[in-house]
Amino acid sequence: MSCIYLPWSTSRARQRGAERARQNRAEIVRELSWGRVSRRDLIKMGLFTGAGMLVRVGGLNPFVADASADTAGVPRSPLFGVQPFSQPMPRFDVLQRYPLSRLTPSPQAEANETLIPVDQALGGGYGPCEGRPPGPVWAHQRYSDCKPRICCEATQAPATTNFSYNPQVASSLNSGIDPTQGLPPRFHPGLPNQNANSVWTFNGTIPPKLVQARYGEPLLFRHHNGLPADVRQNGGFGRHTISTHEHNGHHGAENDGFTGAFFFPNQFYDYHWPIVLAGHYSVNTAATDRMASSPDGSGGLMNVAGDWHETMSTHWFHDHMFSFTSQNVYKGNAAMFNIYSGLDRGNEEIDDGVNLRLPSGTAKDWGNLDYDVNLMLADKAFDRDGQLTFDIFNFDGFVGDVMTVNLAANPFFEVERRKYRFRILNASVARFFKVALANASGVAQPIVQIANDGNLLPNPVRLFELDEQGIAERYDIVIDFSQYALGDKLHLVNLAEHWDPENGTLNGKKPIADLTMAAALSGTSPDPCVGRFLEFRVVRNPARPDVSRVPATLIPNPDLTGIPVARERTFVFGRDAAQTSSDPIASAIGPWGIGTDGGIMKAADFGRLSAAPRFGTREIWHLVNDGAGWDHPIHIHFEEGQILARNGSLSNVPFTERGRKDVYRLRPKGTVTLTMQFRDWGGMFMEHCHNTTHEDNAMLLRWEINQGGEPFLSPLPTPIPTPQGVRFQSPDEILPTAL
Ligand SMILES: [Cu+2]
């Protein structure tokens, strides 16, 4: 079921009908989101087909009084007269870093099993204060080697006003926003404040949060769950259980936000992010290579172990709750994570032969944000009262009709006449972007792409439009505003159109067309998120000369030629998956699924083991899209890989994908061949589509790193969390080719 936003010219009667239909659908959505009914129940009741379509049952439907509940049209989001580019874009809200002694109780290697009372809404009794699965298998791996030195703490919480906004830059570098005034939870000053349960974010506030960390300084992120204990208190969508995935963290699985290792309201989960270079325990172990290094806090370098070619920069972290990721991320469970290194230290002045001196700032030894700006792009939709809304009956992919940057609708951002780095994240549910920069005359301007996903490219690539950017992909770019005049306005423009003329809908399965700049700016696209979405206003000359650089060589790829390929595996991504498991907790219903090594297409079961590479080896994985009607941005957790071929040939891999990656867009009918290593850590990880609608329904599988001995005995028991404690069960299934 695709999304149709009815044009403003639609008759009032039809708009009223559509609004009524949306409300009726919302009732079913609520029942489903509360867990009072499962997708499996709905199929049994005949409300839902296996392919995920809501069927027309009229009066037979216990939740819907009106057969028009499956009407495909929904009204456009009301904008209350708000004009584009009429509010400043807030910079990210930086989470404070603290010494570890701040945390009470103190963190520990194994989950803290101290009992606390459990809310009656969650069954009452007592349960552990930490939701992490207990025991040695889920203990922080190599905890004594990588003892956390600092911590950050945040609480997932209903929306509230932000009275502690800390962008870590002066107001002049934040388009004049005064952080002391308090930021209400709203997407624009002209739009209504969001109700507490319409938006659930880190600390309940906007803007989105940023964590800054550096190599060689392990970080403990304590995530509290402050969401309502009553599952019905969710504003119509969103689940109060969460699991936090540090996207492409090279960590042990216990810190990876495994989809089945979720935790409950009033619990916390200690995520240990050791922040080590891949190869930490096998390459440059004596830390003698100065290129493998991190800022020491006083202008120098501290060497770290591992392969410096694996240095990472731009991550994000977000919810990974099984079957509910799309709702929870959309509702606000998304943050960014900048990792600093000797190469990419966030100081543009230090000239030590290692520092690449990318645009950032000079005041601090590392992590200057003055000219290093995180941008989180996401499309949203609002109900008639202006509250955030979501449709979980859309199984193709939910797309919204209001474009937001850093959770602000169509904002402006003031810039100085100098170079800026922008770390662009696609945090949508199902929408792809294709970003270009337009000057006031609508002419495309040059952009230099320096990174793809978490990784700086081997060489910067100069472009007039970026590639299509799939969900969860990050593109770091540099824009040089020194070539523009004071008073100039430029715009970031989205060229990727999801409008499908064949059935007159916004199609969430893939972008349908890449428009030219002229077409995108013409205002004629039926897709409301095409066109200008962020305005740059050139307001000042820089107070200090711009000493930043974009060197011709950034980070060359690691050399894998000497590492044998232990195994090849093939994963086919498609529709009409079978669910061969009846596990009530660990399995989900399709229609999306993954076929492994020639086996049938299966819907997700986090109790099923689909692949188990041996610890310390390298493999080649073939990802295959079995259809032309959809695109899947596939995320493989754990260690970044290299794309060896698209559709069979390296020549099909653009230069912007020649570095390391963690999301691999399949493109319609496309294939990607990649190579990955399985080093340093073990446990259970995931591979899934990052169109989170596809992921939740149920294009996801579990794989494990098998060390051939304790604690990573293969297969690992599956955790089954409850508020009163996590139990373990044997895997539901082990695919014959897994081990
Ligand atoms: Cu997909």
Q: What is the pLDDT of residue 393?
A: 78
DSSP code per residue over 29-94 = HHHHHHTSS-HHHHHHTTSB-TTSPBP--GGG-TT-S-GGGG-SEEEPPP-TTPPTT-SBPPPPEE
CA separation for the pair 455, 657 (Å, rounded): 10
Rounded alpha-carbon distances, angstroms, from residue 728 to 324, 585, 686: 21, 12, 18
Cα(395) to centroid(ligand 1), Å: 10
Cα(699) to centroid(ligand 1), Å: 7
Cα(511) to centroid(ligand 1), Å: 12
Q: What angle do CA 649, 650, 656 make, to 5 degrees?
A: 135
Q: What angle do CA 202, 206, 208 make, to 5 degrees?
A: 65
Cα(635) to centroid(ligand 1), Å: 10
- Exposure string for 606-641, b = 16+ CB within 10 A, e = fewer: bbbbbbbbbbbbbbbbbbbbbbeebbbbbbbbbbbb
Secondary element (H or E) of residue 321: none
Backbone angles phi, psi at 675, to 5 degrees: -125, 140
17 CB contacts (<8 Å, ≥6 apart)? Answer: 68, 71
pLDDT, one tens digit per residue, over 408-444 is: 999 999 999 999 999 999 999 999 999 999 999 999 9
pLDDT, one tens digit per residue, over 585-617 is: 999 988 999 999 999 999 999 999 999 999 999
pLDDT, one tens digit per residue, over 464-521 is: 999 999 999 999 999 999 999 999 999 999 999 999 998 888 999 999 999 999 999 9
Beta-bridged to residue 702, according to DSSP, are 609, 686
Rounded alpha-carbon distances, angstroms, from residue 719 to 255, 585, 727: 14, 10, 6
The residue assigned the tokens 């042990």 is 252
Question: Any idea which of 4-8, 192-196, 652-656 has the lowest mean pLDDT?
Answer: 4-8
Cα(592) to centroid(ligand 1), Å: 8
C-alpha torsion angle, residues 31, 36, 42, 47 (rounded to 10): -40
Q: How many CA atoms lie within 13 A of 632 on its CB side?
A: 30
pLDDT, one tens digit per residue, over 169-227 is: 999 999 999 999 899 999 999 999 999 999 999 999 999 999 999 999 999 999 999 99
Give how far the C-alpha of residue 722 lies from the chain's centroid of Cα atoms, to the nearest Å.
26
- Exposure string for 446-468, b = 16+ CB within 10 A, e = fewer: ebbbbbbbbbbbbebbebebbbb
Which amino acid does the sequence have at 20? R
413 CB contacts (<8 Å, ≥6 apart)? Answer: 88, 89, 175, 373, 534, 535, 536, 537
Cα(632) to centroid(ligand 1), Å: 4
Cα(155) to centroid(ligand 1), Å: 30
Cα(663) to centroid(ligand 1), Å: 12
CA separation for the pair 696, 688 (Å, rounded): 9
Contact 8, 76 (CB under 8 A): yes
Cα(503) to centroid(ligand 1), Å: 20
Cα(109) to centroid(ligand 1), Å: 36
CA separation for the pair 88, 407 (Å, rounded): 11
Cα(471) to centroid(ligand 1), Å: 10
Q: Give the model's confidence band at 54: pLDDT under 50 very low, under 70 low, under 90 confident, else very high.
A: low
Cα(631) to centroid(ligand 1), Å: 6
Give how far the C-alpha of residue 237 lies from the chain's centroid of Cα atoms, to the nearest Å.
18
Cα(267) to centroid(ligand 1), Å: 32
Cα(207) to centroid(ligand 1), Å: 28
Q: What angle do CA 156, 161, 165 make, to 5 degrees?
A: 85
Find the length of the chain.
739
Cα(1) to centroid(ligand 1), Å: 15
**Class of residue 63 by CB neighbours under 10 A (exposed 0-12, middle 13-18, buried 19+):** buried
Contact 336, 261 (CB under 8 A): no
Cα(76) to centroid(ligand 1), Å: 25
Cα(633) to centroid(ligand 1), Å: 6
Cα(628) to centroid(ligand 1), Å: 12
Cα(464) to centroid(ligand 1), Å: 27
Whether the predicted model's global pTM rises above the 0.85 cut:
yes
Average pLDDT of every residue of the chain: 93
Cα(82) to centroid(ligand 1), Å: 33
Three-class SS state of 571: strand
Q: What is the pLDDT of residue 368?
A: 98
Q: Give the model's confidence band at 234: pLDDT under 50 very low, under 70 low, under 90 confident, else very high.
A: very high
Cα(321) to centroid(ligand 1), Å: 17
Which amino acid does the sequence have at 466? L
Cα(664) to centroid(ligand 1), Å: 11
First-to-last C-alpha distance (Å) of the chain: 38
Cα(601) to centroid(ligand 1), Å: 14
Backbone angles phi, psi at 416, to 5 degrees: -95, 165
Secondary element (H or E) of residue 436: strand 433-438
Cα(396) to centroid(ligand 1), Å: 9
Output DSSP code: residue 180: G
Three-class SS state of 734: strand
DSSP code per residue over 348-402 = SS--SSS----SS-SSSSS---TTEEEEEEEEE-B-TTS-B---TT--S----SE
Q: Give the model's confidence band at 65: pLDDT under 50 very low, under 70 low, under 90 confident, else very high.
A: very low
Cα(524) to centroid(ligand 1), Å: 28
Cα(692) to centroid(ligand 1), Å: 7
Contact 251, 731 (CB under 8 A): no
Which amino acid does the sequence have at 234? N
Cα(591) to centroid(ligand 1), Å: 11
Give how far the C-alpha of residue 549 lies from the chain's centroid of Cα atoms, to the nearest Å.
29
Cα(199) to centroid(ligand 1), Å: 25
